Structure 1
Amino acid sequence: MYLGNSMMKRASQHLVLIAVATVMSAFSSMAISQEDAADGQPKYIETKKESSKVALGIFEDAAGLQNGGKFNIAEEEWQAFLEDHETDPLAPQVAYFLGVCRIQLGKIKTAATAFEQALKYKPFELTEQAYLQLGWCSYQVAVNTKDADARQQQLRKAVDVFDKQLAAYEKSDFSDEALYFQGESYYALGDIAKAEVSYQNLVDGFSKSELVLESMYALGTVLEEQKKFPQAKQIYTKFLDTAGDKHELFTEVRMRLAETFLQEESYEQAAEIFGEVASVDGFASSDHALFRMAFCQVQLKDLDSAAETYGQLAESFSDSQYANESNLLVGRIRYQQKDHEAANAAFSKVVEQGGAFAIEAKHWQCRILLAAGSNDEALALATEAIANAGDSEFLVNLKMNQADAQVAKGNHEEARKLYLAILNDHADNTLSADALYNAVFSAYQLALHEEVIVDGTRFSEKFGSHNLLPDVQHLVAESQLTLKQYETAEATLRKLVENHPDHPKHENWTVRIAASLYVQKKYEDVTSYIDGVNESIESAQGKAEAHYLAGASSFFLKQDEPALTKLNESLAASPGGNYADDALLFISRIHANAEKYEEAVKTASKLIDTFESSNVIDQAHFRRGDFLNDSKQYDKAIEDYQVVIERFPNSVYLVPSLYGKAWCELRLDKHETSVATFTVVIDNHAQHELHPASLLGRLICRHQLDEFDGVVEDANTVLKSTADNAIKMEAVYQRGLAEVALEKNEAVVASFTSLLEDYPKFDRIDSVLYELGWAYGELEDTEKSIGMFDRVAKEFPQSQFLADAHFRVAESLYGDEKYADSVGRYEASLAADPSNSLKENVLHKLGWAFYQQDEFAKAQEQFESQIKAFAEGTQALQGRFMNAECLHKLGDFEKALAVFEQFDASELESAQMKTLAWLHAGQAASQLKQYDKALVSLNLVVENSGEPSEFDARYEIGWILHRQMKYDDAVKQYEQVARGSRGGVGARARFMIGEISFAKQDLEDAVKQFQRVMFGFGGEKAVAAVKVWQSKAAMEAGRSMEVQVEDAKTKQDRDGLVKSAVEFYTYVVEKHPMSSSVEFARKRLEALSKL
């Protein structure tokens, strides 16, 4: 809804200019008396028949002031008129114009009072406008009032005033404005039904009004708010047909039209219009249009398009109120599509922005982290989010995430507490059943078997039809077995098998029935039962448990100590039996698990020597190669890997052997050979699980061989072929470094940015940030570049890049003219022990940072330190120059001149520096009255430098000649400066010519020169540097007049001189009130007034 606070369009056209003669003529004979009012009619203020001369004079003056834009003075005059001439015939008009002045002055409340005063008189030609202005003022006061009661009162007053106007002046030139602001007032009151009537009356009755389009827009809005979408669609369509596409509200109305289609569930039409609206350049609500467009796409099941639209909104309108929610919705869609990487990127943006959606985003991020096995990160995130979740609907989800993370980390005790807390605190939540199931599972993992049975029974009673019931009962059966409740466990398992024949764990329960019989020592029952169910057992693990209940089962359960015992017993019972070779292989692996590599190698060697025809001989060579590899015996490891490669080309251990061999070669710095071995895996075994890791190994070798394009190629292939985060993060890192070497900066940014976003725990983040800083710098994205260096400096105090990172941040701050801030960063760089080449630059720029803040002593100290430490450095010449400059600024002209003489200014690279060196050397010599030296340096400026430095030098030459009383020569120099420079030095030179004339007692010429300064060089529009000399020139001109007063021959001459002096001093006071000469000028004016 439009709530404008500017004056109405037509009414504002007659707010200022007043045709005085016409007004006075129209009202000079106007007489209204109370007797004219009939009974029951308003009593108006009685006015006189004619205006007095005094009243006419005030009116004329006030009108002139108002016409001249002097509204504050005009207000005072109109107010005075009403106070002294309330019954004058012109008083109604005066009250109206008083209100007008106050509107111009922004005094809306008092303007309303004036219009109320105007309405106390009998209707006159401005009465309708007075109603309109009064109603408008009341509306403006309301919309700018914070107090709700006062706001309502003013809005009701506005409505009442507009009602009176419309009743008295139906269909007038101002009725459309009254209807419009009446509608606005009703809208502000919250009475949108009445607002609708006002807007509708304007639209229907004033089709030619300049406000008809705004009223159509407002009408459509209130219709939408009343959910009258068909009517709103009709009025919006009419607006678009009437206004054309050039109207400022055309796009806004199209968007609202699209909303009406959406509300009617015409999603395709709505999406199309929203898309067109969103693409309009400069449209303020493009973000809203995109948001609604994406909603339509979701309704149309076009999720990819919806995600792209939401993403476009968030990226293009990052400050939009919809940006954060859009990122959330992108994340939801991508998570639903199982694209966790894209989902996490979207959720990260939501969390970064904070706000209401961050809690939900963190929930989804927890699920993604858990799915990726990043359990510590998931736990930390869930815990942090819970603390800030408040009464969020995702609080329970986050608590489940927290508990799930503890499970994934193996902290079942803590997880169980968390699950039970969810059940107790959120019993009615839909996740309470999952929480109880997980509590049962955690109890089982903790061997709290009695609790498993108690909580399992509780689950059966509370959630008897839940799909997790079989899993809970399975855990109960396992706990019953553990607690030696064998018969009870058997009954539980048989019930599971009977009631849930299609359950995925049916086979497992079948085998566990056999186990329950076994622990009851019902050996015959075990045999008969296995025979009966053998055909139904399909999995390798199931057959192993059914037919091999001792020995190797402990190894498969990762229980190495009991497994080792059972396997040794198996070997002792049957050293050459069917399982002897397998037993030896398992035993070697158990030793390796304990990092007893020597024992592992001996055991594997025994297998190889004893069972040459074993079907696990290929695996034995591979395992022994791994054991040797782990013990860093790379040459010997290669020999075993080579046996598998040559003798067992079809073995499942062929690729692992190639992979192990390649890494051994890499560790032996045989990079070309290693590349060749990795390539065999890559080219011939693309589907193998080690393919991504082989690509990673090869790209690392290629990096060592400076084959950077190959590194990038391999890295990209790795990223497409694996979900292993450890491999992916290393591949991205290596790719980024290769792209740095290739100077592909955009690619560097893409690689390292993805690494930061996807793998924030990477162990070389400081290197990533540092390289990003350089890449962004090469791409001229200074803000991001410095952001990266700043992170290195703040987050990695031990980084090898610390000194340079601080320096880069300091350089940026310096470039942004934040010199004080840059000092701290330069000093931090020095404290980080930079290299010599960097240290010289740091000292030099630290000096500059102090110099830019006018801390010349500190700056000089740094430049001197730089010169002492790096006398022959690349910045030595500039350092000496700046050292001299600082001394010059400090007024130590003797030392400054000495330093200037230590180097040849012509060798400075910068023309500006050369000029300053000559100029300031000349000025220093001049201050020391070594005029010959000064003139040599200053003439170098004149001969070698253009404007404006030439003028500065010529002025200094003139000043030297001036002090030497070589006035004519000085004037020549000053004159060139005054004619050439329009700035401060030119004005100062002209002033000095006047001073010379004054010294020569040529007071007439002196005054002329001073006046050239006063009124030349831009006059009143002169720059500040000129105004200083304008003020001084006026003072000197006044003094030149005063010194002639005593010698005046006649009173007329004397009075003329005094008058001229007064004019000059008055010029100072009026034109240069901030001048240091003002007080003296006032004193002279006071003294001269007494003459």
Structure 2
Amino acid sequence: MNPSGSKNIYYCFIALTICCSLIALFATLTIAAPSESLGGEASQSVPAVKYGQDPRELERAADKILKQAENHLKKSEFWLCAQELIIIMDYYQSYSQLDKVVHLLGLCLLEEQLYTASIRMYNFLLKKFPKSQYLADALLGLEKAFYAQQEHKQALRVYYVIIKKSNQSKILDEARYVAGQCHYQLKNYDMAINILKDVSNQSEFYDSALYTIAISYLKKSNVATSVDYFRNIISLPVISAERRKIVDNARLTLGLIYYELRAYQAANHQLSKISSQHENYQDALLGMSWSHLKLNEYENVIKTLDKLIKEFPGSENAEESYFLLGQAHIALGNYNDAIAAYRRIVELFPDRQSAPGLIKKVSHSLRNQQNQVEELKVQILIEETKLLDAIPLNGYGEDVPKYLVEEKQRLHDFRKNMIQKLLAERDQLLYMQRQIADLLKTAERHERRKDWRGYAEYGISRALFLREIGASRGN
């Protein structure tokens, strides 16, 4: 065969497939194993080599595309990696490394939070390549995808297959960690503890496993054992940001446990060691303030609360912080300062009856926005499949026909606009998700918080009374 003619035929084939329907590509994303597989529905395989191309030529082209995909994967460019892999999946099903392609595509879809598509890819690999070297990786990916979808029982079903089929310690440790989290979410605390105890101390999931074990014992009201595990965690050397976060979480929980046990000095010791960069640092400061108050260390209460109010002016703990500040000032006889602190609570919550209405409004808004998020997810998935249909022509040779070069430019413009639209919609999705999280937090806060305004009004009355008594005695 003439090499030049072979290339032209290949380019013509690519040009013809550029305008393929969205349905054809979507079918690729929805490949699943038969109904007896670990999730998903039955489907048919995509056709193999098309239009009679030379398999050796397609094999070389697929090798090149796979290499490009792996380069994207190393840079955590999962979307770009998926683009390359889809090309192989769609146009060369007889590729010698197709099981690797399917595995990597499932991984990319998982990282892009396209869990249903990821599950279908992994199921396809399990059905099509039962002896693949990537079988254990596919099972682990399947377990993680089900867990991400909160399908905990389905994830556990996959886990029990993994422990029977795999002897790779790294995969087993991660599978155990995910399974432990599933049992914890299902409130099977004994099962969670038993599985998580098998996670190796060399695993990257070891710290998190210890923390979940400690919390599980706490859920079982086994405080002594829980405290022992938390102590083990805080004794770990801080060698990474991830471990620092887990150690700080352990210190925070341990500090609150000590507070409930009325060991206030021990509580302060743990809470004071939490990093100022921790996401719940303000809770640590508030806990320290309560401990200082119980120890009658009023100056330390004021010092700690001043720091909390200064660094977190919009804190969700604001009303509680001002209440404690008023208590400390009253204890020191600073009645005017106490009154000012209590009045600040009244300013923050001018209408003590407004909370139920706010909760109702927030809940309604949450329902509406959750529906919009789900609709937007569907739209984004459609845009993603459209974008994947726009095949890049870079790197396939120098003697590309002129009309294909022109078509490539048209595709370039199309892909550029599509990417911009996709990024804009993803930004909107992330914004809406953050807004929902904030609204939910506000609703829960108002639903569960005590009536700090009532306490504040009582505190003002008490401070005024004590101030008058003090003035009378002074006279």
Q: Same fold (TM over 0.5)?
A: yes
Q: Distance in 1 between matches of 2:249 and 2:274?
A: 12
Q: Quick one: which of 56, 69, 83 aligns to 1:99?
A: 69
Q: Distance in 2 between matches of 1:229 and 1:51?
A: 54
1:235 equivalenced with 2:195 (yes/no): yes
Q: Distance in 2 between matches of 1:47 and 1:92?
A: 16
Query: Partner amino acid for 1:309?
Result: A
Tell me: CA distance 1:407–1:136, structure 2 relative to 1, closer, same or farther (3 Å). same
Alignment of 1:391-790 (within 5 A): 393=450, 394-410=452-468
Query: Partner amino acid for 2:49?
Result: I
Q: Distance in 2 between matches of 1:49 and 1:349?
A: 71
Question: 1:229-275 CA deviation, whole Å, 9 max, x = no partner?
Answer: 11110011122xxx2x4444333322222222111111111112211
Q: Quick one: which of 87, 101, 105 aligns to 1:134?
A: 105
Correspondence for 1:109: 79
Tell me: CA distance 1:348–1:98, structure 2 relative to 1, closer, same or farther (3 Å). closer
Query: Partner amino acid for 2:217?
Result: F
Which ranges of structure 2 fall in alignment gaps of 5 or more residues?
1-43, 356-448
1:262 equivalenced with 2:218 (yes/no): yes
Aligned-partner SS, 1:190: coil
Q: Distance in 2 between matches of 1:347 and 1:122?
A: 65
Correspondence for 2:266: 308
Q: Distance in 2 between matches of 1:315 and 1:89?
A: 58
Aligned-partner SS, 2:182: helix
Tell me: CA distance 1:363–1:342, structure 2 relative to 1, closer, same or farther (3 Å). same
Q: Distance in 2 between matches of 1:315 and 1:90?
A: 58
1:375 equivalenced with 2:347 (yes/no): no
Correspondence for 1:218: 178
Alignment of 1:900-979 (within 5 A): none
The CA deviation at 1:374 is 1.3
The CA deviation at 1:210 is 2.9
Correspondence for 2:442: none
Q: Quick one: which of 47, 51, 55 aligns to 1:43?
A: 47
Question: 1:723-775 CA deviation, whole Å, 9 max, x = no partner?
Answer: xxxxxxxxxxxxxxxxxxxxxxxxxxxxxxxxxxxxxxxxxxxxxxxxxxxxx
The CA deviation at 1:162 is 0.5
Aligned-partner SS, 2:112: helix
Q: Distance in 2 between matches of 1:377 and 1:344?
A: 11
Aligned-partner SS, 2:237: coil
The CA deviation at 1:94 is 4.7
Does structure 1 conserve the Cα–Cα contact (< 8 Å) formed by 2:329 and 2:337? Answer: yes
Aligned-partner SS, 1:210: helix
Does structure 1 conserve the Cα–Cα contact (< 8 Å) formed by 2:298 and 2:332? Answer: no
Aligned-partner SS, 2:49: coil
Between the aligned residues of both structures, percent identity stands at: 13
Q: Distance in 2 between matches of 1:93 and 1:291?
A: 51
Tell me: CA distance 1:287–1:99, structure 2 relative to 1, closer, same or farther (3 Å). closer
Does structure 1 conserve the Cα–Cα contact (< 8 Å) formed by 2:298 and 2:329? Answer: no
Correspondence for 1:281: 237
Correspondence for 1:168: 128
Question: 1:264-287 CA deviation, whole Å, 9 max, x = no partner?
Answer: 111111112211211222032111
Correspondence for 2:282: 324
Does structure 1 conserve the Cα–Cα contact (< 8 Å) formed by 2:110 and 2:118? Answer: yes
Q: Distance in 1 between matches of 2:203 and 2:106?
A: 28
The CA deviation at 1:132 is 0.7
Q: Distance in 1 between matches of 2:76 and 2:286?
A: 45
Does structure 1 conserve the Cα–Cα contact (< 8 Å) formed by 2:252 and 2:270? Answer: no
Q: Quick one: which of 291, 294, 313 aligns to 2:255?
A: 294
Correspondence for 2:308: 350
Tell me: CA distance 1:361–1:219, structure 2 relative to 1, closer, same or farther (3 Å). same
Tell me: CA distance 1:272–1:98, structure 2 relative to 1, closer, same or farther (3 Å). closer
The CA deviation at 1:341 is 4.1
Q: Distance in 2 between matches of 1:286 and 1:105?
A: 29
Q: Quick one: which of 119, 123, 140 aligns to 2:89?
A: 119
Query: Partner amino acid for 1:141?
Result: E
Aligned-partner SS, 2:344: helix
Does structure 2 conserve the Cα–Cα contact (< 8 Å) formed by 1:139 and 1:158? Answer: yes
Q: Distance in 2 between matches of 1:320 and 1:172?
A: 43
Does structure 2 conserve the Cα–Cα contact (< 8 Å) formed by 1:327 and 1:346? Answer: yes
Does structure 1 conserve the Cα–Cα contact (< 8 Å) formed by 2:162 and 2:175? Answer: yes
Correspondence for 2:361: none
Q: Distance in 2 between matches of 1:189 and 1:359?
A: 37
Correspondence for 1:363: 323
Tell me: CA distance 1:209–1:259, structure 2 relative to 1, closer, same or farther (3 Å). same
Query: Partner amino acid for 2:325?
Result: Q
Which ranges of structure 1 fall in alignment gaps of 5 or more residues?
1-39, 56-87, 143-153, 412-556, 559-592, 594-1091
Aligned-partner SS, 1:211: helix
Aligned-partner SS, 2:170: coil
Query: Partner amino acid for 2:101?
Result: A
Q: Distance in 1 between matches of 2:147 and 2:45?
A: 32
Question: 1:880-909 CA deviation, whole Å, 9 max, x = no partner?
Answer: xxxxxxxxxxxxxxxxxxxxxxxxxxxxxx
Q: Distance in 1 between matches of 2:115 and 2:467?
A: 64
Q: Distance in 2 between matches of 1:133 and 1:214?
A: 18
Q: Distance in 2 between matches of 1:247 and 1:106?
A: 21
The CA deviation at 1:89 is 5.8
Q: Distance in 2 between matches of 1:51 and 1:232?
A: 50
Q: Distance in 2 between matches of 1:106 and 1:292?
A: 34
Query: Partner amino acid for 1:325?
Result: D
Does structure 2 conserve the Cα–Cα contact (< 8 Å) formed by 1:324 and 1:349? Answer: no
- Cα RMSD for the two superposed structures: 3.1
Correspondence for 1:252: 208
Q: Distance in 1 between matches of 2:197 and 2:168?
A: 18
Q: Distance in 1 between matches of 2:252 and 2:112?
A: 35
Q: Distance in 2 between matches of 1:286 and 1:360?
A: 26
Does structure 2 conserve the Cα–Cα contact (< 8 Å) formed by 1:330 and 1:346? Answer: yes
Aligned-partner SS, 1:45: coil
Alignment of 1:857-868 (within 5 A): none
Tell me: CA distance 1:189–1:248, structure 2 relative to 1, closer, same or farther (3 Å). closer
Does structure 2 conserve the Cα–Cα contact (< 8 Å) formed by 1:182 and 1:198? Answer: yes
Does structure 1 conserve the Cα–Cα contact (< 8 Å) formed by 2:272 and 2:288? Answer: no
Q: Distance in 1 between matches of 2:331 and 2:166?
A: 66
Correspondence for 1:495: none
Q: Higher Cα Rg: structure 1 or 2?
A: 1
The CA deviation at 1:128 is 0.6
Question: 1:142-192 CA deviation, whole Å, 9 max, x = no partner?
Answer: 3xxxxxxxxxxx221111011110122225310111122222222333333
Tell me: CA distance 1:176–1:367, structure 2 relative to 1, closer, same or farther (3 Å). same
The CA deviation at 1:296 is 3.3
Correspondence for 2:159: 199
Does structure 1 conserve the Cα–Cα contact (< 8 Å) formed by 2:214 and 2:227? Answer: yes
Question: 1:1029-1088 CA deviation, whole Å, 9 max, x = no partner?
Answer: xxxxxxxxxxxxxxxxxxxxxxxxxxxxxxxxxxxxxxxxxxxxxxxxxxxxxxxxxxxx
Q: Distance in 2 between matches of 1:256 and 1:211?
A: 19
Q: Distance in 1 between matches of 2:338 and 2:345?
A: 10
Does structure 2 conserve the Cα–Cα contact (< 8 Å) formed by 1:310 and 1:327? Answer: no
Query: Partner amino acid for 2:122?
Result: F
The CA deviation at 1:107 is 5.1
The CA deviation at 1:48 is 4.1
Query: Partner amino acid for 2:309?
Result: V
